[in-house]
Every structure is written in structure tokens, then in C-alpha cells.
């Protein structure tokens, strides 16, 4: 059974919905999944400034925070983050910055990695966010598994680097079939490559 860690940050629930879809698909495919949000580090006044942010914190308050051990445990790692000025959210990057001890022992190497993101606009930096995360994976000696155009769904969502959902003008557009198909393909492919490596 492939062990998959889905580690993500979400302020207002979009990336959380993407992470949950990926987890559901991975479990159906027979993987053992740890779905872990990265803990909130924004000042309380920032959280309180948006109802959706307050609501999302409440929704996940009883769920476990991501720990470095989740990556140590995993064979396959899927990372999710909102796009923030074309990069990963600082909350996620802060978690990544706690991984030095694992990295120095080579314990992040030789696993398969991929990533997904959300942004308000279609050309708002999804690709730079994903590529920035992939630079981290390269430093770890991770095996990056981009989706490329290896499935018809990629010609619909058009993102060969990972998966990106566009939240739209009101910043709250729900996932559509194209997002779900692309997430399903990303996670299925990641598990497939992990299984082939383990064989």
C-alpha cells in the first residue's frame, strides 16, 4: 500500500477542497493517506478580516497539523498552496523551512512529489508557484512527477506543471469537473510512479 502525504495550506477553503478530492481519489485507488493542513501562522487580525478565513479555520480546527514526520512516513507527497503574489503561501513555506533536519539526513530524497495550487486569475502565477515548489523538491532529491499532457484532462485544464484552480472574480468559484479530473489524474499518476519505483 503506497503511503501518500497530502500537505497543504488553505486560508478560505479552496485548496482544502482540492486536497480533499485528491485524498478521496487516492484512498479509492488503495493508498494509505495522511491529509494534513499546515497550521495557521497569520496574525489573528488578518484571519478575522475575512469571514471565509474564519470559517475555514473553524472547519479544520480538530484536524491534525502537518508535521515533518508526515513527509518522513510517506512514499509519495502532494503539496497544495494558494498562489500568493506568484509564490506559495508563507504558511506553507514556513512549514517547509522546518524540514532542514530531515533534508540533512537525506530523508526527503527518493520520494515522488507533485503539487497543486489555486489563484484568483488564470494567469495569476500558478505556474511560478508550482515551479517554486518544484525547486524545493529538487533540493530534497525528490522525484518530481508533473502531469505533462499525459491525459486528456490536461488538454482541458491546460496545466502540465500540476493542477491549478481559478477562483474567479469573487474568489470563491467551486471546483468544476475539469479541476476534479485533473486532480484525479495528478494523484493517480503520482501513486502509479511511486508503485513502479517500489516494484
Ligand X SMILES: Cc1cc2nc3c(=O)[nH]c(=O)nc-3n(C[C@H](O)[C@H](O)[C@H](O)COP(=O)(O)O)c2cc1C
We find the least distance from the C-beta atom of residue 166 to ligand X, in angstroms, to be 8
Rounded to whole angstroms, the Cα distance separating 145 from 75 reads 13
Q: Does 162 bind ligand X (CB under 6 A)?
A: no
Centre a 10 Å sphere on the Cβ of residue 125 and count the other Cβ atoms it contains.
Answer: 18
CB 25 to ligand X: min, Å: 18
The answer to the question of residue 12 lying near ligand X (CB under 6 A) is yes
Distance in Å, CB of 3 to ligand X, minimum:
24
Please state, in angstroms and rounded to a whole number, the distance separating the CA atoms of residues 130 and 128. Answer: 5
Q: Does 115 bind ligand X (CB under 6 A)?
A: no
- Over the window 120 to 139, marking each residue x when it contacts ligand X by CB under 6 A and - when it does not, the resulting string is xx--xx--------------
In sequence order, what are the residues at sequence separation of 6 or more whose Cβ sits closer than 8 angstroms to the Cβ of residue 24?
none
Q: Does 15 bind ligand X (CB under 6 A)?
A: yes
DSSP state of 169: T
Pick the piece of the chain touching ligand X (CB under 6 A) from 59-67, 113-121, 179-187, 189-197.
Answer: 113-121
d(CA 82, CA 8): 9
Does position 171 bind ligand X by CB under 6 A?
A: yes
* Residue among 111 and 180 whose Cβ is closer to ligand X: 180
Q: Nearest-CA neighbor of 14 among 160, 170, 195, 158?
A: 170
Beta strands in 120-168 (DSSP E): 143-144, 163-166
118 binds ligand X (CB under 6 A): yes
CA-atom Rg of the chain in angstroms: 16
Binding residue for ligand X (CB under 6 A) from 21, 34, 36, 84?
84
Residues in touch with ligand X (CB under 6 A): 10-16, 82-86, 118-121, 124-125, 167, 171
Amino acid at each position: 500500500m503506497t503511503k501518500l502525504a497530502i500537505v497543504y495550506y488553505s486560508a478560505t477553503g479552496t485548496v482544502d477542497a482540492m486536497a480533499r478530492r485528491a485524498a478521496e481519489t487516492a484512498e479509492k485507488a488503495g493508498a494509505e493517506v495522511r491529509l494534513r493542513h499546515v497550521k495557521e501562522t497569520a496574525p489573528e487580525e488578518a484571519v478575522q478580516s475575512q469571514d471565509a478565513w474564519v470559517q475555514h479555520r473553524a472547519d479544520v480546527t480538530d484536524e491534525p497539523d502537518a508535521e515533518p514526520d508526515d513527509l518522513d512516513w510517506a512514499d509519495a507527497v502532494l503539496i497544495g498552496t494558494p498562489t500568493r503574489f506568484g509564490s506559495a503561501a508563507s504558511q506553507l513555506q514556513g512549514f517547509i523551512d522546518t524540514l532542514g533536519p530531515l533534508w540533512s539526513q537525506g530523508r526527503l530524497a527518493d520520494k515522488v512529489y507533485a503539487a497543486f495550487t489555486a489563484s484568483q486569475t488564470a494567469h495569476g502565477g500558478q505556474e511560478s508557484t508550482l515551479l517554486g515548489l518544484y525547486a524545493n523538491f529538487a533540493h530534497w532529491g525528490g522525484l518530481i512527477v508533473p502531469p505533462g499532457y499525459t491525459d486528456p484532462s490536461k488538454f482541458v485544464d491546460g496545466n502540465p506543471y500540476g493542477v491549478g484552480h481559478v477562483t474567479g472574480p469573487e474568489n470563491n468559484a467551486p471546483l468544476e469537473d475539469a479541476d476534479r479530473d485533473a486532480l484525479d489524474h495528478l494523484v493517480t499518476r503520482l501513486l502509479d510512479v511511486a508503485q513502479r519505483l517500489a516494484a
